[in-house]
Amino acid sequence: MAVAALDACAQTSTPPALSKVEPATDRLVQLASRGIRAHDPSTIVKCGDEYWLCATGNGIVSWHSKDLLTWTAGPRVFTNPPAWTTNMVPGNRGYFWAPDVIHVGNRYLLYYSVSTWGKNTSAIGLTTNPTLDPAATNYAWSDAGPVIRSKGEDPFNAIDPAVTVDGSGGLWLAFGSFWNGIMLVQLDPATGQRLVPDSPLYSLASKEQIEAACIYPHRGHYYLFVNWGACCRGTNSTYNIRVGRSDRITGPYLDQSGVDLLAGGGSLLVGSSGRFIGPGHAGIVSRDGADWFSCHFYDGTRGGIPTLALLPLRWDTSGWPRVMVESK
């Protein structure tokens, strides 16, 4: 979300849970659009025989699919916002941004942003559930409170959580929007919270307009995906997705030219093309041996509505990711 941003498109369309799902036409398959409204989609995770994602919205919206092509709206995570959110971040009324979800041990950990437009008085919250299947008898979200917060005097903004497991089983949270950029903190896999209250923060990437981090381990490297530009302006959005990589999750992350992402580096992975405008919030999911790159884009043929895309992802001979977008 841009500068602790609001999904401005939500003001002109129906809520995500009521959005019309487009048919899977050849054009949509080529573009890899899934035809559903989703802003800041989480990493896609599997529960049983279904894939799930969460996205920005009142109470956090959810979608599920058996094949990654046809998606159905699921329940909202929160019927009522946890009391601490409105106390810690005055002005927030349960419209939560940019969630991310991961399966660790015997439960799902869902991290989400609590903020207001243009301010870094923010927090990242955590809620947990043993299942994502709302029909299961043990389906219940449990509020675990805030994980990290930022105040006006802090040099960072505690939003846009992205959770990752490293090669040794360690749990990490990347986050940040504008201010001094993308940060990283280690978590306790048993609790989902910081290892200790003052555990170190690592700086990963910096740019005037940067946010929406995602870290993905692949063949001995860690890949850091970030967004440059501005979101939430429909077809006027300037979002584009950049990437760097490191041998360590804590960095340094260098782009393909060897420029540190802390020094403004970042190789362009995917930008606007035709109706595919302002791609944002990267994620990667694997199915049947193939990797898919998830993000939202502002659909130029639907008035700039934020729409879920799943794009074929390939890795070149040098180990860099490649994403192709149909431009029609």
Partners of 323 in the β-ladder:
313
Cis check: omega of the bond before 252, within 30 degrees of 0: yes
CA dist 231 and 251 (Å) reads 26
Catalytic residue among 7, 40, 100, 160: 40
DSSP secondary structure string, 2-60?
Answer: TTS---GGGGSS--GGGPPPPP--HHHHHHTEEEEE-SSPPPPEEETTEEEEEESEET-
Show me where the domains of the chain are located.
8-323
CA dist 286 and 313 (Å) reads 10
User: What single letter denotes the amino acid at residue 288?
Assistant: D
CA dist 326 and 328 (Å) reads 6
Catalytic residue among 7, 100, 211, 260: 211
Mean pLDDT, 10 residues at a time, over the chain (328 residues)?
Answer: 35 31 52 90 97 98 95 97 95 95 97 93 97 98 97 93 97 96 97 94 97 97 97 95 98 98 97 93 94 95 94 95 76
Q: Is 40 a catalytic residue?
A: yes
Q: Is 208 a catalytic residue?
A: no
**pLDDT at residue 28 in the model:** 52
Sheet holding 57-58, edge to edge: 57-58, 95-104, 107-114, 122-129, 142-150
**pLDDT at residue 320 in the model:** 98
User: What single letter denotes the amino acid at residue 10?
Assistant: A
Question: What is the CATH number assigned to the segment(s) 8-323?
Answer: 2.115.10.20
Of the candidates 32, 128, 94, which has an alpha carbon nearest to the alpha carbon of residue 325? 32
**pLDDT at residue 324 in the model:** 78
**pLDDT at residue 326 in the model:** 63
- What pTM value is reported for the model? 0.91
